[in-house]
């Protein structure tokens, strides 16, 4: 029995299958969660969430805007960055600016995000972020507690750059020279964890989480 034709056919089918898998990448999904905040009379900060990349890494974002009821113009054709923040400066106060954002990968450009608007005024300014939510403290060992929490939904118009953690043992906050025990945690993920080792047992440890923020360029 001649198996050569069958082997050749199998090889061709495998190559076709591999080629199809290699070419399965698509343009990314549209960015989601776009928010815009006027942080001064002449500046609006934009934030959005990273979409599904279509099996090809996102390489940048395209941002368009319009003033009032005018037509959209390109603010930046490709940020050439995976950062999901952008600062639009040099604006005119009391004008309404509307934005949408596209994601870019090696295959092409996504559909646009939903459009969102903001109107800078003479009194526009950033604010403190909202409180983190969903704080949990889980004992990991006799001497370690693991903390987890969620980023606040309101960042005050600026990127959150870190968190301050305060803790107490029993019913009173610890003090050293009149200063409460606290520790900064610098991280930029939307879901946060912190591990505190070297605890002394048995005792009850209580925690508070605070935000830090900073302007984006």
Q: Where are the domains of the chain?
A: 32-118, 133-214
In sequence order, what E strands does 68-121 have?
73-76, 85-88, 97-104, 116-118
Of 111, 113, 114, 115, nearest to 26 (Cα)?
Answer: 111
Contact between residue 174 and residue 168 where contact means Cβ atoms under 8 Å apart: yes
d(CA 88, CA 34): 14
Q: Which of 121, 120, 125, 110 is nearest to 64 (CA)?
A: 110
At 15, phi and psi to the nearest 5? Answer: -65, -40
| DSSP designation for 109 | B
φ, ψ of residue 17 to 5 degrees: the values are -65, -45
Hey, is 134 helix, strand or coil? strand
Question: Are the beta carbons of 135 and 52 closer than 8 angstroms?
Answer: no
Q: Which residues of the chain have pLDDT under 70?
A: 1-23, 169-217
Domain 32-118 shares a fold with domain 133-214: yes
pLDDT at res. 176: 44
Task: Report pTM.
Answer: 0.68
Homologous superfamily, domain 133-214: Immunoglobulins (2.60.40.10)
Closest CA to 138 of 208, 193, 181: 193
Sign, Cα dihedral of 195, 200, 202, 208: negative
As a whole number of angstroms, the distance between CA 215 and CA 161 comes to 9
Give the DSSP H or E segment for 17.
helix 4-22
User: For domain 32-118, is the CATH number 3.40.50.2020?
Assistant: no
Which of 123, 115, 105 has the alpha carbon at shortest distance from 46? 115
pLDDT one-digit tens code per residue, 80-111: 999 999 999 999 999 999 999 999 999 999 99
pLDDT score recorded for residue 168 = 72
DSSP per-residue letters across 161-194: EEEEEEEEETTEE-EETTEE-EEEE----SEEEE
Which helix H or strand E contains 10, and what residues bound it?
helix 4-22
Distances (CA, A) of 97 to 88, 121, 217: 10, 12, 19
């Amino acid at each position: 029995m001649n198996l050569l034709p069958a082997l050749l056919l199998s090889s061709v089918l495998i190559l076709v299958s591999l080629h199809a898998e290699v070419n399965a990448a698509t343009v990314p999904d549209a960015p989601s969660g776009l928010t815009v905040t006027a942080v001064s009379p002449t500046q609006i900060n934009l934030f959005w969430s990273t979409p599904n990349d279509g099996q090809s890494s996102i390489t940048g974002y395209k941002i368009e805007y319009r003033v009032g009821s005018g037509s959209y113009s390109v603010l930046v054709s490709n940020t050439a960055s995976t950062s999901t923040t952008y600062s639009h400066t040099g604006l005119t106060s009391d004008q309404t600016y509307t934005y949408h954002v596209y994601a870019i990968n090696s295959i092409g450009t996504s559909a646009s995000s939903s459009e969102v608007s903001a109107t800078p005024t003479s009194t526009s300014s950033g604010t403190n972020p909202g409180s983190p939510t969903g704080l949990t403290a889980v004992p990991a060992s006799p001497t370690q507690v693991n903390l987890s929490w969620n980023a606040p939904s309101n960042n005050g118009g600026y990127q959150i750059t870190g968190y301050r953690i305060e803790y107490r043992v029993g019913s009173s906050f610890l003090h050293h020279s009149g200063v409460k025990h606290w520790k900064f945690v610098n991280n930029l993920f939307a879901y946060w964890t912190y591990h505190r080792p070297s605890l002394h047992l048995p005792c009850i440890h209580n925690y508070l989480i605070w935000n830090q923020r900073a302007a984006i360029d």
